[in-house]
Structures are given as C-alpha cells and as structure tokens.
Amino acid sequence: MNLILVAVIVLGVVGLVSALVLFLASKKFAVWEDPRIKQVSDVLPQANCGGCGYPGCSGFASACVKAAEGGSLSDLNCAPGGQAVMEQVAGILGLKASAAAPKVAVVRCQGTCDVRPHGVEFDGVHSCKIQNMTGMGETQCLYGCLGEGDCAAACLFGAITVNPATRIAEVDESKCTGCGACAKSCPRGIIELVPQGPKNRKVVVLCNNKDKGALATKECKVSCIGCGKCVKVCDKFEAITLGTNLAHIDPDKCKMCRKCEEACPRGAIKAFNFPPRKPKAEAAPVVSPASPKVEETVAKASASPIVEKKVETQKESETAV
C-alpha cells in the first residue's frame, strides 16, 4: 500500500515540476507571430502551388501580412484563389484588393502528328526537359510541343494533359487556375498565361516557331511564318506585333474582332470560346482539332507502347531509391 502511495506521489511531483518548467519555458521563449498570418493562411486554397512566387501558402500569407504594413497588396496575387480569395485576404488585413485579371494557360502549339510528322523516335527518358536537350526532338520543329508531359506532371490541379492522339498538351480551362507552374516547367516556353477574357474569349497565336518562313513551312503545316498579314489587318488596334518571325497578340489591346484569325494563311491564330461564325465566314482556314483524321489515331495511339511505358516509368520512380 505504502509503495503504491510513494510511487503516485513521486510521479505526481515529477509531473508537476515538469509542467511548471514547460510552462515557464513556453512563456520565456515564446515567439510572437502575427495572428493575421494564420487568419490569412486559413482562407488560402492550401494548394501550395507556388504560383505566387512564395514557398507555399504559409509563405504567401506571411508576405501578405508584411506587404500590408506597407499599405498595399498590389504585387501579390493568389492565382488559384482568384479575386474572391484576394478580397478575403484584403478584408482580414483591412485593405482593398487590387483587381488582378484572372489568367489561364494556353499551349501555343497545334503541331499534331498529322501536320507535323514525327520522323524519328525518342528512346530515352520520357521527359520534355531531357528530350529537349537532345536537340530537335522527334519532329522537325525546334520550337513545338514535345508531348512528354512535363507540364502535366507540374500541374497540381489536373488542368493540363497530353492528348495521346495528337501528342500535344491541352489545357482544361475550367480547372486551370493560372498559377503558371506548367509555363515554368516547359523547356521550350510554349505555354503562355493569357487573361481569361470576357466570357473566356481570347484570340491567341498558337505557334512558337521562330524560324524563317520557308523553313517554318517545311517543319509544320500550321506554323506561324511571320508573314505579317495579321499585323496588317490589325492596323486599327495595333494589338499584333511581329517578333523573330513570330506574331504575338497583346491581349490588352485585342478587341476580339477575329479578323486576324481569318487573315492567317496558316491557321496559326485561334479564337477561343467564340460562338460559331455566320455561314459565309465558315470557310476560313481554321484547323479544327476534332478532324476525323485525328479521331482515327486516337484508337491507335491509346494502345501504343509509348503510352504504356510512361505509366511504367512513373510507377518505378515511386518505388526506386
């Protein structure tokens, strides 16, 4: 009886002393953290995508609170959260959110297998970065989509996938948050972030080919050859500029008239999410992604060893080392 009592008393005293030490230590060594960081962090999407340029959502929250001391949140934007989240953040910090146009990723390449033939087969690791290091890749175009899916692996929202039939990355606009992870992962810089546009409408040059016209024509049937016809039809708004043999549309100046889409002899300019044109304009040389030829190859490619191999490599990289 006595033994039990002694044990209880000893343990009780040790417990009390330890509790006291811990209590005092927690007071003495307490680190004060701005409670707003936690509040801000709680309203963020917790995707930790890094699209804001900070290491994860907590890093962004600290940056917001720090910026609030300066009185402005203008340089900070949470792409996946969008305007709604930024307004909440601004509310917590007692500021007004600046209006940031939501963006969406666009893959600037339409070089599907039928317009840009694959002359050789890449037998190495299925990674765009590694294939890009070997030079041209499987096609004749040094600028086009390699189709190994580095962007798909980088996307945390499942918004970008490589279509096995066309071997081109495709963006699901409903899922894309505009964080830009895919754009950073693309070794050829094909993916561009463009403003979502009214009713999701936008007009984009879907090509990244900077070769001279004659060469670009040989490389791909839907390449931009830098002919400048689009620049001419856009003389009123001056939204289109010609870089190194490559046209680019400034989304801020674009009035969505779609004249350039009609004018492009190569079908390299594409208007997204517009209603169908009136019958007479339908003859415009727009390359429809769902041509019957493509569908044919879907069935073939989905059973091809290339696709299977990719799944294998992923599995094994999880288990190895």
Partner 1 sequence: MKTFRIGGVHPAENKLSAGSPIREAALPKQAIFSMFQHIGAPAKPVVKKGDVVKVGTLLGEAVGFVSAPIYSSVSGKVSKVDVALDASDTRRMAVYVDVEGDEWEESIDRTPDLVRMEDRPDLDAQAIIEKIKQAGIVGMGGATFPCHVKLCPPPGQKAECVIINAVECEPYLTSDHSLMLEKTDEILVGVSLIMKAVNVNRAYIGIENNKPDAIRLMQEKAKAYPQIEIVPLKVQYPQGGEKQLIDAVIGRQVPAPPAIPISVGAVVQNVGTAFAIYEAVMKNKPLISRIITVTGKSVKTPSNLLARLGTPFSQLIDECGGLPADTGKIIGGGPMMGKALISLDIPMTKGSSGLLIMNDKEARRAAPEPCIRCAKCVSACPMGLEPYLLAKISSQYMWEEAEKEDIVSCIECGSCAFTCPSHRPLLDNIRLGKSTVMGIIRERAAKK
Binding stretches for partner 1 (CB under 8 A): 119-120, 123-125, 127, 129-130, 133-136, 142, 211, 215, 309, 312-313, 316-317, 319-321
Residue pointed to by tokens 């907590």: 58
Q: Which of 118, 66, 114, 56 is nearest to 89 (CA)?
A: 66
C-alpha span between 148 and 171 (Å, rounded) = 15
Taking a C-beta distance cutoff of 8 angstroms, is the pair 116, 141 a contact? yes
Shortest spacing between CB 278 and partner 1, in angstroms: 42
The distance of closest approach from Cβ of residue 65 to partner 1 in the complex, given in angstroms and rounded to an integer, is 28
Cβ of residue 130: shortest distance to partner 1, in angstroms?
A: 5
- Smallest gap from Cβ 134 to partner 1, in A, equals 6
CB of 100 to partner 1, least distance (A): 28
The residue among 134 and 302 lying less far from partner 1, judged by its C-beta, is: 134
288 exposure class (CB count in 10 Å sphere: 0-12, 13-18, 19+): exposed
Any bridge partners for residue 105, and if so which? 193
Residue number, 40 or 182, with CB nearest to partner 1: 182
Alpha-helix runs per DSSP H in 29-135: 35-43, 56-70, 82-93, 128-133
CA dist list (Å): 24 to 13, 32, 35: 16, 16, 22
Chain centroid offset of residue 235 CA: 31
Q: Which residue lies nearer to partner 1 by CB, 6 or 120?
A: 120
The Cα–Cα gap between 189 and 208 comes to: 8
Q: Name the minimum Å distance from CB 317 to partner 1.
A: 6
Contact status, residue 202 vs residue 188, Cβ threshold 8 Å:
no
- Give whichever of 282 and 316 is closer to partner 1, judged by the CB atom: 316
Of the pair 15, 55, the CB lying nearest partner 1 is at 55
Looking at the Cβ atoms of 123 and 252, the one nearer to partner 1 is 123
